[in-house]
Amino acid sequence: MGVDNTPGVRRRTLLGSALALPLLSAGCGADDDALTFFFQARPEEARVRLSIIEEFRKRHPEIRIRTIMSGPDPLQQMLTYCAGGKCPDVMMAWELLYAGLAERGVLLDLRTLLDRDPAHAEALRRDSYPTLYDTFTYAGGQYALPEQWSGVFLYYNRELCADAGITPPVRWRDAWSYDEFLDAARALTRRASSGRTAQWGFTDAWVPYFSAACFGMNNGAEWFTPAVNPTHTNLGDPRFAEGFQFYADLAVRHRVAPRVGDQQSVSAPDLFRRGRAGMAMGGHWLYSEFAGQDDLDIDLTVLPVGPHGGPGAITDVGCTGLSIAADSPRIEQAWEFVKFATGPVGQAIVARSGLFVPVLKSAMDSPGFATAHRHIRNLEVMTDGPANSRPLPVTPAWGKVSALLERSGNRVLRGAAPASSLSPNDINAILDAR
């Protein structure tokens, strides 16, 4: 399964052109003493990374960095580089994919470096969100340090909500119920005299079966147990199925959200941007698309909670990190860069960019982050998101598991089967076989 088909990568709307970014290289080419840094990003996101690199160079002029822009399948690209003996020194890590690389011995266990630097390790832990930091802790090792959070929440159109008399909640702990959310979506849905839907109450700009799983988790059942290196899935839990079904019914039964076929001609972000949807589910990667448009007044709210969930709403971790190649000949230089990019100075640059959500509390609370998001009144939805996150499944078997989840989940989302038909047996067999 190609990496560009996984939610962890697709969620960021990746792979724009890398033109006009002179520091980017298309190949590994580690034939000199430059530190190689492999990542995937849109052009504007790449510029933020280059800003971090430039600031790092000022402080460490002795360490040169060559950046490598990923192609459409970063996992396969990394494996190809490493198999050929040219593994990048520093690699972007995705929460859903890194475990397989860790098991292959591609990634260095960063505990070997953190243990040598206890002051930095303690300061980092103290300033980190445990859910994000621990997402990259696998089989007793620390295989990446988090660099950005990309959990999901709801954007809403202030004008449309005000016209419909809707005041969405502003805090994760004060989430609305499924019934309240459905009432809001109904109030925001408009039909033309022809019966055609002129305005949807809700649209999903993320990955539908992942979104449905978040609704299931907000009804009191974790998706996988434990989240990191899981031993079984909770697809068969009635609470999870009820939440999954509620999400599916928004389109299939209640018709307050587009069905899959309804979005063939226009994307979910376009529906929201054009004022044809009152709410859109997605993450921070959509902010730059929505903010600052004169005819679109946006804000944020949280996911709804089912009758068996709570007390507050939760979202997914949605996190990327930075790893170091286990066989890098430049581990010391790589460690200096990873520490910098994931530490206070690098994260402050992230906070000011408005393109990423930082992973350190100090950066999240900084004036720079608030200034970069001046179009948002309910900024707590974003700043409190990491503390209200739950990890998505982290397993080396993710490729096989994801294929089964997508196939069975999409049948429910099309209305071809009830969520009670979701069977955990095949997935548990894959997890047991490890």
CB neighbour list of residue 179: distance below 8 Å, 6 or more residues apart: none
Per-residue pLDDT tens over the stretch 94-106: 998 899 999 999 9
Structure tokens at 69: 């822009």
pLDDT at 73 over 50: yes
pLDDT at 17 over 80: no
DSSP3 helix / strand / coil % (the chain, rounded to 5): 45, 15, 40
The CA R_g of the chain, rounded to the nearest whole Å, is 21
- Entry field: residues in the chain: 434
Rounded CA gap, 261 and 30, in Å? 46
Which has the closest alpha carbon to 287: 399, 195, 374, 191? 374
The pLDDT assigned to 311 comes to 93
The pLDDT assigned to 324 comes to 98
On whether the CB atoms of residues 236 and 422 are closer than 8 A, the answer is yes
Per-residue pLDDT tens over the stretch 259-305: 876 665 679 999 999 999 999 999 999 998 999 788 899 999 999 99
Mean pLDDT value of segment 214-229 = 95
Rounded CA gap, 363 and 365, in Å? 5
Rounded CA gap, 27 and 397, in Å? 28
Rounded CA gap, 285 and 274, in Å? 18
Catalogue all structural domains in the chain, each as residue range(s) with its CATH number: 3-150+317-364 (3.40.190.10), 152-314+394-432 (3.40.190.10)
Q: Name the band, by pLDDT with cuts 50, 70 and 90, for residue 18.
A: very low
Average predicted confidence (pLDDT) for the chain? 89
pLDDT at 308 over 80: yes
Q: Name the band, by pLDDT with cuts 50, 70 and 90, for residue 41.
A: confident
Which amino acid, one-letter code, is at 296?
Answer: L
Rounded CA gap, 41 and 203, in Å? 25
Q: Is 128 helix (H, G, I), strand (E, B) or coil?
A: strand
Mean pLDDT value of segment 313-329 = 95
Per-residue pLDDT tens over the stretch 361-403: 999 999 999 999 998 999 999 999 999 999 889 999 998 999 9
Per-residue pLDDT tens over the stretch 52-68: 999 999 999 999 999 99
Q: Over pLDDT 70: what percentage of the chain? A: 91
No. of helices (H) and no. of strands (E), the chain = 20, 18
pLDDT at 423 over 90: no
Per-residue pLDDT tens over the stretch 142-165: 999 999 999 999 999 999 999 999
Which amino acid, one-letter code, is at 427?
Answer: I
Which has the closest alpha carbon to 87: 68, 100, 109? 68
Burial 230-248 (b: 16+ CB within 10 A, else e): beebbbbbebbbbbbbbbb
